[in-house]
């Protein structure tokens, strides 16, 4: 790490035995902890596990699709595999990924607080999450479900095989964990900021988590209601969605996407917050257009609630409604574009250190731009009519969720790893895996744009032969991506045993989290921080700024 040389002599010393990691070694000290940092670690372990399961399902899908006949799985087996992949990835990895690990760990540190506002609620939300996650995993693997993660009616309510009701309940339960986390973040950001930490000095990571918490609290209950109605229709035959019982199947789609479109912003807003931190730290420069980046997060959260109908352009929704949703979907791209242009401008006249976190951040920007602009294509009605429900859509949302959110998650993990664990990882391996991830990702998903435009529908186990070459490219890319995900797992874990001890501020970054020791003490700071500067005040880089108080 090139930045490691910056001003380490003034770092706050880690007083032996006070780090949160040394506050207790028993299992009980972890499972009954109310320390937001330890809960973040619990989340990190759980989501890594669920990510691995969902990735195995993805590997099965990609292996199966190497041949047009799909020799590995049966039709039913394939449908179950993509249902496991979607359900576990969306609800048990992507939605909690950055907020509940990095956010949970960093928000109190970044605003100068000792913990979240409701530490026990924080632990409860992890318990709800882990119970729901293990239940969901058991159900989708042992029972099997073939509805996809979208649970469209009346397929799900009347026709699908497998443990539909149990799956729906697992997702329903996990929603409470999300709501509690959102509530906790909102109250924490409002009430626990350190003296001097005004809203205009709030790190952009915290702004984006504030925006995402609003979505957590407002959108998740809609999903809960919808899933309960699905269960009620399947079990009791209450006619809400099934037309043969007098229901309306499109009502389900409206309710589902009213949650699930904002859920896409749940996945990407925290990633944007991460990138704002990584870019400024990597470029050692103040963010370009702080207020525009901050309010863009809020704008995305708000407009994001008004675009759900763009999932329904070919569903039989009225032409007029489709036109309105098309327009609003174009509008929601504006704040995202503002962010991208501001990040690029931030690099101008910077002091750029191309370390792994910055490479991941730049990877995020590139892949997010590709995903966002193909999203604009999908917002165009006449184009969507052709590519809706094809691989074009699959490629588009993987560029956002994997190319965007997962890349940012890995960037965040590298950037804050020294703070979280107190160890430095191998920077060379970090850079190699960042580059490998960007190349592997594009090889996997770029061919899918072509497949989609050529007419390959999504969720196809058996496909026409003319698509095979591109499918093979995609599967080869997935293999490369798997290596790029396994590499960090290896060298990050290795660093825990053999990595060099991390100084308090290895990147020479601003932000209160770098003013405390690595790893931080149990109560985060040995004395109450007082903030006198804006964020990213880079010509006067930390750790000196803390002494200004």
Partner 1 sequence: MSPSILLWPTAASRHADEVDLLIGTFGGLVALLTIPVFVLMTVFAIRYRTSREADREHPPSGRTWLEFSWAGIPFLLILGFFFWSTQLFFQIHRPPPGAMTINVVAKQWMWKFQHAQGAAEINELHVPAGRPVRLNMTSRDVIHSLFLPAFRIKQDLLPGRYTSLWFQAREPGIYAFRCAEFCGTDHSVMGGRLVVMRPADFAAWLEEEGAFGTSATLAELGGKLFREVGCSGCHGPASDVHAPNLAGLFGRPVGLSDGSTIVADEQYLHDSIMLPNKHIAAGYQPIMPTYGNVLEPEQVNALVAFIRAGAQAQEEEGP
Which residues inside 250-289 make contact with partner 1, applying CB under 8 A?
250, 283-289
Shortest spacing between CB 154 and partner 1, in angstroms:
6
Give the largest Cα separation in the chain, rounded: 74
If the CB atoms of residues 336 and 524 are measured against partner 1, the closer one turns out to be: 336
Give the whole-angstrom CA distance, residue 51 versus residue 65: 21
Choose the stretch contacting partner 1; rule: CB under 8 A; options: 11-19, 241-249, 414-422, 499-507. Answer: 241-249
User: Site mask, partner 1, residues 76-105, x = CB under 8 A?
Assistant: x-xx--------------------------
Q: What are phi and psi of 10, to 5 degrees?
A: -100, 5
If the CB atoms of residues 31 and 462 are measured against partner 1, the closer one turns out to be: 462
For position 71 contacting partner 1 by CB under 8 A, the verdict is no
If the CB atoms of residues 124 and 155 are measured against partner 1, the closer one turns out to be: 155
Give the whole-angstrom CA distance, residue 103 versus residue 243: 43
| Helices 468-498 & 407-421 angle (0-180, nearest 10) | 10
Instruction: Say which DSSP state 248 is in.
Output: -
For position 57 contacting partner 1 by CB under 8 A, the verdict is no
If the CB atoms of residues 385 and 483 are measured against partner 1, the closer one turns out to be: 385
Choose the stretch contacting partner 1; rule: CB under 8 A; options: 53-61, 223-231, 358-366, 499-507. Answer: 358-366
Query: Cα angle at 256 between 187 and 168, to 5 degrees?
Result: 85
Site size with partner 1, rule: CB under 8 A: 97
Q: Are 117 and 111 in contact (CB under 8 A)?
A: no
Shortest spacing between CB 303 and partner 1, in angstroms:
13
- Residues in CB range of 470: below 8 A, 6 or more apart: 447, 448, 450, 451
Q: Quick one: tokens of 304?
A: 């994001």
Beta bridge partners of 457: 390
If the CB atoms of residues 86 and 521 are measured against partner 1, the closer one turns out to be: 86
Closest by CA position to 364, among listed 276, 283, 445, 485? 276
If the CB atoms of residues 42 and 275 are measured against partner 1, the closer one turns out to be: 275
Shortest spacing between CB 333 and partner 1, in angstroms:
8
- Contact residue for partner 1 among 13, 28, 71, 244 (CB under 8 A): 244
If the CB atoms of residues 158 and 482 are measured against partner 1, the closer one turns out to be: 158
Alpha-carbon Rg of the chain, whole angstroms? 23
- Residues in CB range of 519: below 8 A, 6 or more apart: 14, 19, 20, 21, 37, 419, 420, 421, 422
- Burial annotation 455-481 (CB, 10 A radius, 16+ → b, else e): ebebbbbebeeebeebbebbbbbbebb
Distance from the Cα of residue 251 to its chain's centroid: 28
If the CB atoms of residues 49 and 248 are measured against partner 1, the closer one turns out to be: 248
For position 8 contacting partner 1 by CB under 8 A, the verdict is no
If the CB atoms of residues 156 and 178 are measured against partner 1, the closer one turns out to be: 156
If the CB atoms of residues 131 and 347 are measured against partner 1, the closer one turns out to be: 347
Instruction: Say which DSSP state 332 is in.
Output: T
Shortest spacing between CB 465 and partner 1, in angstroms:
5
Shortest spacing between CB 322 and partner 1, in angstroms:
7
Shortest spacing between CB 285 and partner 1, in angstroms:
6
Give the whole-angstrom CA distance, residue 295 versus residue 462: 46
For position 290 contacting partner 1 by CB under 8 A, the verdict is yes
Give the whole-angstrom CA distance, residue 22 versus residue 336: 41
If the CB atoms of residues 298 and 353 are measured against partner 1, the closer one turns out to be: 353
The total of other beta-carbon atoms located within 10 Å of residue 94's CB is 26
* Cα-based distances in Å from 526 to 40, 227, 387, 464: 21, 46, 56, 64
The interface with partner 1 within residues 116-175 (CB under 8 A) comprises 146, 148, 150, 152, 154-155, 158-161
Shortest spacing between CB 105 and partner 1, in angstroms:
27
- Contact residue for partner 1 among 73, 338, 476, 482 (CB under 8 A): 338
For position 27 contacting partner 1 by CB under 8 A, the verdict is no
Instruction: Say which DSSP state 193 is in.
Output: P
Closest by CA position to 337, among listed 300, 389, 309? 300
For position 330 contacting partner 1 by CB under 8 A, the verdict is yes
Q: What are phi and psi of 198, to 5 degrees?
A: -75, 170
If the CB atoms of residues 20 and 205 are measured against partner 1, the closer one turns out to be: 205
The interface with partner 1 within residues 367-396 (CB under 8 A) comprises 369-370, 373, 376-377, 379-383, 385-386, 388-390
- Residues in CB range of 50: below 8 A, 6 or more apart: 88, 92, 93, 133, 137
- Contact residue for partner 1 among 138, 243, 490, 501 (CB under 8 A): 243
- Contact residue for partner 1 among 323, 486, 489, 501 (CB under 8 A): 323
For position 325 contacting partner 1 by CB under 8 A, the verdict is no
For position 349 contacting partner 1 by CB under 8 A, the verdict is yes
Instruction: Say which DSSP state 13 is in.
Output: P
- Contact residue for partner 1 among 186, 232, 331, 476 (CB under 8 A): 331
If the CB atoms of residues 218 and 381 are measured against partner 1, the closer one turns out to be: 381
User: Site mask, partner 1, residues 455-474, x = CB under 8 A?
Assistant: x-xxxxxxxxxxxxxx----
């Amino acid at each position: 790490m090139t930045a490691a040389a910056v001003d380490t002599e003034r770092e706050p010393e880690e007083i032996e035995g006070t780090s949160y990691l040394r506050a207790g070694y028993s299992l009980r000290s972890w499972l009954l902890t109310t320390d937001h940092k330890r809960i973040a670690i619990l989340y990190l372990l759980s989501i890594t596990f669920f990510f691995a399961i969902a990735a195995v399902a993805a590997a099965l899908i990609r292996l199966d699709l190497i041949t047009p006949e799909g020799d590995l799985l049966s039709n039913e087996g394939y449908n179950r595999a993509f249902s496991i992949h979607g359900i576990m990835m969306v609800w048990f990895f992507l939605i909690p990924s950055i907020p509940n690990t990095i956010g949970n760990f960093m928000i109190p540190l970044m605003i100068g607080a000792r913990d979240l506002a409701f530490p026990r609620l924080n632990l409860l939300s992890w318990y709800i999450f882990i119970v729901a996650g293990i239940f969901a995993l058991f159900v989708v693997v042992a029972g099997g479900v073939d509805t996809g993660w979208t649970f469209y009616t009346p397929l799900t309510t009347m026709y699908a095989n497998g443990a539909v009701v149990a799956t729906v309940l697992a997702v329903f339960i996990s929603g409470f964990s999300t709501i509690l986390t959102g509530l906790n973040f909102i109250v924490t950001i409002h009430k626990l900021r350190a003296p001097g930490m005004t809203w205009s000095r709030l790190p952009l990571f915290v702004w984006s988590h504030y925006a995402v918490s609003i979505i957590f609290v407002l959108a998740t209950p809609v999903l809960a209601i919808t899933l309960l109605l699905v269960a009620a229709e399947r079990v009791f035959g209450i006619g809400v969605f099934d037309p043969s019982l007098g229901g309306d199947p499109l009502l389900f789609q409206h309710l589902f996407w009213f949650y699930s479109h904002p859920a896409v912003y749940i996945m990407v807003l925290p990633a944007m917050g991460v990138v704002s931190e990584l870019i400024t730290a990597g470029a050692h420069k103040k963010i370009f257009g702080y207020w525009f980046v901050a309010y863009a997060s809020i704008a995305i959260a708000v407009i994001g609630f008004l675009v759900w109908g763009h999932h329904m352009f070919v569903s039989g929704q009225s032409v007029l409604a489709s036109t309105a949703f098309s327009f609003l979907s174009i509008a929601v791209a504006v704040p995202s574009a503002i962010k991208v242009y501001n990040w690029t401008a931030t690099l101008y006249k910077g002091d750029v250190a191309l370390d792994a976190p910055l490479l991941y951040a730049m990877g995020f920007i590139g892949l997010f731009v590709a995903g966002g602009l193909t999203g604009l294509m999908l917002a165009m009605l006449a184009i969507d009519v052709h590519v809706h429900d094809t691989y074009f859509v699959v490629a588009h949302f993987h560029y956002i969720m994997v190319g965007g959110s997962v890349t940012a998650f890995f960037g965040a993990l590298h950037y804050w790893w020294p703070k979280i664990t107190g160890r430095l990882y191998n920077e060379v391996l970090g850079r190699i895996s960042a580059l490998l991830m960007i190349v592997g990702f594009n090889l996997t998903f770029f061919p899918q744009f072509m497949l989609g435009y050529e007419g390959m529908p999504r969720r196809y186990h058996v496909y026409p032969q003319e698509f095979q070459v591109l499918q093979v490219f995609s599967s080869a890319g997935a293999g490369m991506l798997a290596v790029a995900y396994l590499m960090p797992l290896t060298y990050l874990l290795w660093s825990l045993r053999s990595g060099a001890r991390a100084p308090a501020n290895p990147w020479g970054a601003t932000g209160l989290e770098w003013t405390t020791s690595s790893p931080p003490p149990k109560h985060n700071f040995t004395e109450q921080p007082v903030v006198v500067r804006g964020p990213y005040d880079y010509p006067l880089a930390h750790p000196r700024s803390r002494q200004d108080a």
